Amino acid sequence: MGKPATDPALPPAGRLVRHILPDMIVTMDFVYARPNIENNASSIITGVRCG
């Protein structure tokens, strides 16, 4: 957390990785192997959750 969402060490968004931005609409389906990377409006990571 606290790193920019453009950090090359982060996996890219895709079917098994979800980058969530403020005011973004996301489904409520639970995928246990999918990390949800939450970003603020400045594209700084504010949280990471599984599902």
- Can you give the pTM of this predicted structure? 0.81
Domain ranges, ordered by start, for the chain: 1-51
pLDDT score recorded for residue 18: 92
pLDDT score recorded for residue 35: 92
> What amino acid is encoded at 15 in this protein?
R
Gap between the Cα atoms of 31 and 44, Å rounded: 23
Strand partners, 35: 50
The fold adopted by the segment(s) 1-51 is Trypsin Inhibitor V; Chain A (3.30.10)
> What tokens does 11 get?
């996996």
* 1 pLDDT tier (thresholds 50, 70, 90): confident
pLDDT score recorded for residue 10: 86
pLDDT tens per residue across span 24-39: 999 888 898 999 999 9
In the predicted model, is pLDDT for residue 9 greater than 90? no
How, if at all, do strands 18-20 and 35-39 pair? parallel
